[in-house]
Amino acid sequence: VAEHFADRLMRACEDRGAPVCVGLDPVLEKLPDELRAAISDASDAAAVKAMGQWCQGVLEAVADHVPCVKPQMACFERYHAAGMDLYFSLVQRAKALGLLVIADGKRGDIGLSAAHYAAGLLAGSAGADALTVNAYLGGDGLEPFVQLAADEGKGLFALVRTSNPGGDALQSLLLQDGRRVGEAVGDLVAALGCSQPHYLGQGGYSLLGAVVGATKPGDAGKLRQRMPQQIFLVPGFGAQGGTADDVRACFDDQHRGALITASRSVTYPPDATRGDWHAAITAAAKQFKGEIAQILGR
Amino acid sequence: VAEHFADRLMRACEDRGAPVCVGLDPVLEKLPDELRAAISDASDAAAVKAMGQWCQGVLEAVADHVPCVKPQMACFERYHAAGMDLYFSLVQRAKALGLLVIADGKRGDIGLSAAHYAAGLLAGSAGADALTVNAYLGGDGLEPFVQLAADEGKGLFALVRTSNPGGDALQSLLLQDGRRVGEAVGDLVAALGCSQPHYLGQGGYSLLGAVVGATKPGDAGKLRQRMPQQIFLVPGFGAQGGTADDVRACFDDQHRGALITASRSVTYPPDATRGDWHAAITAAAKQFKGEIAQILGR
């Protein structure tokens, strides 16, 4: 039996010294000068090759310092099958370097289609360790993902409260029963994620976690109370305006149960366009980790 | 300037005699015996090859009879980059046969990531004619899709009310202002989809449509009133239990503005496993089209 995802993730965070995750959003226009200069033509193949070199460089730069990475699947799918080929290679390379991989695909469908996404993106050695999913279709949209994750020691993070300004339009609407829409989704995630004993790891956390942005003051604390056994995947710190207090509210009383992500601030630091971009990214990853460790009083 | 998607779709529905769409969900276990028998080994490549032959056969079987097809992206992503390569080939083949292609990807993300999905799945000749999207992240999650669609004469269908039983868990929750959550999403879609004059085609329909299942009696009619300028993409007829009345409620007073989809009932008819599966699929497509035409009194 595969070890439970939540236990694997919590241990990796302990080993590396802080619960942090580096987002991988390869965008051609942002790559270091060195890589951009070597692009031979305007073809997708040339672009994907440069992105692949950058991804490999980022993985090597951060692997000794952080427990996991989160590739943004949209950046790869943009380049069609060649981009997806790079994506699946990247998952292998990251794992080989000892990193956990959270595929940021925000997939969501029903029945058989949800099972196909789970099979393609999570299953077996080709699959990532975890996947972000969208809960708008309800519990029977999430269940096929949850069942495969349980069978294979993989994890999921359902979108509950996103960090973008427009997230409020739907997620903060008030229901007649007094809850916000985002809270109702959180309740659904908590109920499903704790509905079977084997969905919970030895540390008490569920394989079904929640995406909760760090940019909505007050919300994270309330959601923490509604989802005591969900690991929170937390975007929005730094670049998107999330503060130390916002981040702290995502953790439980033991300062556990959340994973803070940073993408652009770590992988595209101001000094990384020219010169030794590997070193600049390592330094940015260490600084990010230090900031989160300090917020947690470590 | 590219012709507006809504006008292209409405004209194609007129040309073919009914507003119907055939869903393409290639699943290895369901393929005709002839194709399964020819699979040389258990590799993904062999599976994808058989799926490709089936997809091509289905396209040829339905192209003269229906205006569009809807590939389910999960079925392709299941087979990693090789599956996605088949998906993008399929889009080309379908277009070459004169079919409109609605990519059923249910993608949803924010800002740059949404723009990457739009660039990968909708843009240019490699892109589909339209894409299904998830609105849970709010208007700023949809806008990058809408902007690219407007620039390129492409379309979108946002999930509003899905056909699965579990869709009620979130979509039918009652808000304090009296709306259901699905209605609030519908209002958001209607407002965004009509916010710029060029988002509307000459026929008055928006490039941003809505997915509204035919399995929730009463809901479609209410949503039709809230979204008078959205084209409804309607799953759930037949196999999932949607009735003629459910379907009728998705159309406007002129019996226009909706596109009814069927997948398994057309592409996996009972008699298609053995013998002439092309002919069986053509017959099933014609029967489906006839049923919808009859419901509309044509």
Q: Digits of tens for pLDDT over chain B (298 positions)?
A: 789 999 999 999 999 999 999 999 999 999 999 999 999 999 999 999 999 999 999 999 999 999 999 999 999 999 999 999 999 999 999 999 999 999 999 999 998 999 999 999 999 999 999 999 999 999 999 999 999 999 999 999 999 999 898 999 999 999 999 999 999 999 999 999 999 999 999 999 999 999 999 888 789 999 999 999 999 999 988 777 888 888 999 999 899 999 999 999 999 998 877 789 999 999 999 999 999 999 999 8
Q: Taking CA B73 as the corner, what is the angle to CA B67 and CA B79, rounded to the nearest 5 degrees? A: 135
The torsion angles phi and psi of B282, rounded to 5 degrees, stand at -60, -45
Please give the model's pTM, rounded to 2 decimal places.
0.98
CB contact under 8 A, B166 and A109: no
Q: List the single residue in B80, B136, B175 with the smallest CB-CB distance to A175.
A: B175
Cβ contact B167–A72 (<8 Å): no
Q: What residues in A contact B83, CB-CB < 8 Å?
A: 120
**Cα–Cα distances in angstroms (integers) from residue B271 to residues A56, A165, B61, B123, in the given order:** 50, 52, 15, 38
DSSP state of A271: G
Q: Report pLDDT digits (tens) over A155-168.
A: 999 999 998 989 99
| Chain A nearest-CA residue for B188 | A169
User: Among A137, A172, A240, A263, which would you mutate to test the B interface (most chain B Cβ atoms within 10 Å of its Cβ)?
Assistant: A137
Q: What is the pLDDT of residue A272?
A: 78
CA angle B287, B275, B30 (to 5 degrees): 75
Helix count and strand count (H, E) for chain A: 13, 8
Tens digit of each residue's pLDDT (9 = 90 or more) over A75-129: 999 999 999 999 999 999 999 999 999 999 999 999 899 999 999 999 999 999 9
State yes or no: is B95 an active-site residue: no
Sort residue A257 into left (φ over 0), alpha (ψ -120 to 50) or beta.
Answer: left
d(CA A218, CA A246): 8
**Can you tell me the distance from the alpha carbon of B54 to that of B33, in angstroms, rounded to the nearest whole number?**
11
Interface probe with A: pick from B137, B157, B261, most Cβ of A within 10 Å = B137
Q: Identify the helix (H) or strand (E) that includes residue A45.
A: helix A44-62
Q: Which residues of B163-175 are buried (b: 16+ CB within 10 A; e: fewer)?
A: bbbbbbbbbebee
